[in-house]
């Protein structure tokens, strides 16, 4: 799994695996899902990141596993 934050594009991209992207679909304004040949979600893009989370600190990202 890979996470990429592009400050210039104000976007976040989460890639779940390296399979080829066959199709993309905007499922909500500024939220795009990428699908592989088996119709599985393999990527998630969020645009206008700063508008969604105005207090976001892009220099420090935290994650939690359960």
Spatial distance between the Cα atoms of 23 and 12, rounded to a whole number of angstroms? 18
All structural domains of the chain with their residue ranges = 2-52
Q: What is the pLDDT of residues 13-64, one digit of tens each?
A: 999 999 999 999 999 999 999 999 999 999 999 999 888 887 877 778 777 8
Looking at residue 7, what is its pLDDT?
87
Looking at residue 15, what is its pLDDT?
98
Closest CA to 46 of 3, 20, 1: 3
Looking at residue 50, what is its pLDDT?
86
Looking at residue 11, what is its pLDDT?
93
Closest CA to 46 of 60, 62, 58, 59: 58
Spatial distance between the Cα atoms of 64 and 28, rounded to a whole number of angstroms? 25
């Amino acid at each position: 799994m890979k996470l990429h934050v592009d400050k210039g594009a104000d976007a976040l991209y989460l890639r779940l695996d390296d399979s080829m992207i066959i199709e993309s679909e905007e499922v909500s304004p500024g939220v795009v899902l990428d699908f592989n040949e088996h119709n599985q979600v393999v990527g998630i893009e969020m645009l206008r990141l700063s508008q969604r989370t105005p207090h976001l600190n892009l220099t420090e990202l935290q994650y939690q596993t359960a």
